[in-house]
Amino acid sequence: MASMLEGSGLGLLKGMAMTFRHLFRRRITTQYPEQKLTLSKRFRGYTLVWDKERCTGCATCAKSCPQGNIEIVTSKGTENDYVVEKFQLDSGRCIFCGLCVESCPYDALFLGMEYERSSYRRGDLVLSRDKLLFTPDKQRSAYARPKLEPGLPRQTLLIEGDTGSKKR
Ligand code: SF4
Ligand code: SF4
């Protein structure tokens, strides 16, 4: 009985010593949403970014999508080309596999870096061409696009204690 009490007393002391040690350790968690980490350059965000100028309307991306998620409508252009009338995808059904991005032969499609979004309506998750359109304020992921890597900020690693990034 005495040795049992000794054992549990020792365990308690060890537990307290461990708690005490952790009190003085550098914190490695972030205070989200006030603090945000910089994500991996190849992050697969919840959206895609479409470069209208590079897109030929070939529909390779739509054919590659395992979810049948990309809808493209084209019309014949004046110079033996296609005009993309509609480019739309349902991000609510997207599994962000990146196959559409990998398959695009003209580097016209990218995964985005966004990860925050909520919606009351299922229909709001359908992204029309205007929402997908590449604009300078949209950050594109370097996933399957290594040329973009040098222009993207370095990923924040918790282990380095660098959690100061407010905005990605
Ligand atoms: S990321 Fe995958 S699921 Fe989403 S649209 Fe592209 S191919 Fe389809
Ligand atoms: S594969 Fe690329 S070029 Fe072809 S329709 Fe899709 S985004 Fe446009």
Query: Using one digit for the tens of pLDDT, what is the confidence trace for 26-39?
Result: 777 888 899 888 99
User: What ligand has the least distance to the C-alpha of 84?
Assistant: 2
Question: In the block, which residue shows the tokens 């660098």?
Answer: 162
According to the model, what pLDDT value does residue 166 have? 44
Q: Greater confidence, 116 or 25?
A: 116
Cβ of residue 133 lying under 6 Å from some atom of ligand 2: no
Q: How much is the average pLDDT of 123-140?
A: 94
Strand order in the sheet with 82-90: 70-76, 82-90, 126-127
Nearest C-alpha to atom 2 of ligand 1 is from which residue?
Answer: 97
